[in-house]
Amino acid sequence: MRRGLRLLALLALALGAFWLTEIGLLGSTAGRGTALNTRADLEIDYLLSPASVRALGGPLGEDFDVTGASVAIVSAGDRLYAVDRSSASEIPLKGVAPSSFAVDTNDTLLTISGGYLGLLDEHNDALHAIPLQSLADARLARSSNPGTFFVFGGAAGSYRLYRFRDDGTLEILLDLPERIVAVTDTSSTIYVATAAHILRLDANGPVLLFKAPAGWTPIVSLSVPASGRPVFFSTDTKVFVLLSGGAVSIINDSGGTLRLRGDTMYVLDRRRLLLYAAHPVSEELLKVKG
């Protein structure tokens, strides 16, 4: 395991933003019927509309991420695309799209492909470094800390969260009876979501922040700014901010996978075939207290 991690670290040092080469531009302006019901003080920029998603030629994948240059990486069918506010460009892969991926702090694209943890090399081929076949439905999540990332997955009764560091350290952070659906962190704290719970994990252990009331649509994602406040999370149909008294929706008719860069929240809504950026989502704007 240590040998595989060192290989992954060395490979990452050798890679740049090679995979953002533009291939086949697609318009991504919003079309009729895409307007969102949001707080009046949020602005929405559409990166993908239903028409442009259909033009990608396949269903949107569960994962996506955003680089430091505000380029979203999404999967559609067996392909990957780099998407910004004006275009979508295919990443010419040597094989099919990875089953899970994340962008680290150096904008390296980490991947899970064919049951192996690795990354995309300069030839757009997913390199295999660490076997993960024993971890069912393994998924990746980036960390805000350099040289660190998360892998989570498992089977009924035992869903695990691992933290990998490029110095060869591997830690099992959690083993839960519920499936983990999302992971994010700050410099000192990790946040974990299941379909019904949001947990905070720090040096003192896990703390329950939120339990979904009976009848709620399952939680599918969460995201937290560097300050740790506020916590955002989503279902398939809404985006919420977690306050001391409970959860308040800030986007009322759209949800999905969340990624946060600065004061911009990116939302991949597979139900409505949308990818958009909502901003600003600062603590000051949302008047979060406590």
CA distance 240 to 248: 5
Q: What is the DSSP letter of 144?
A: S
Confidence of residue 33 (pLDDT cuts 50, 70, 90): low
User: Which helix or strand (DSSP H or E) is residue 100 part of?
Assistant: strand 100-103
Q: What is the pLDDT of residue 40?
A: 65
User: Which helix or strand (DSSP H or E) is residue 127 part of?
Assistant: strand 126-131
* Pair of tokens at residue 215: 């009848």
Closest CA to 270 of 229, 221, 205: 221
Q: What is the pLDDT of residue 126?
A: 72
23-37, 94-108, 227-241: segment of lowest average pLDDT = 23-37
For residue range 154-192, list pLDDT tens digits in order.
988 899 999 998 877 889 999 999 999 999 999 889 999
Q: In what order do the strands lie in the sheet with 246-251?
A: 221-223, 231-234, 239-243, 246-251
Closest CA to 87 of 21, 18, 17, 24: 24
255 alpha carbon, distance to own chain's centre? 13
Looking at the predicted structure, is the pLDDT value of residue 34 above 80? no
Terminal-to-terminal C-alpha distance of the chain: 42
For residue range 91-110, list pLDDT tens digits in order.
888 877 889 999 998 888 99
**Mean pLDDT in residue range 59-64:** 91
Location of structure tokens 């901010």: 241
What are the structural domains of the chain?
A: 2-33+41-286 (2.120.10.30)
- Residue 201, strand partner residues: 190, 206
CA distance 87 to 90: 10
Stated pTM of the model: 0.86
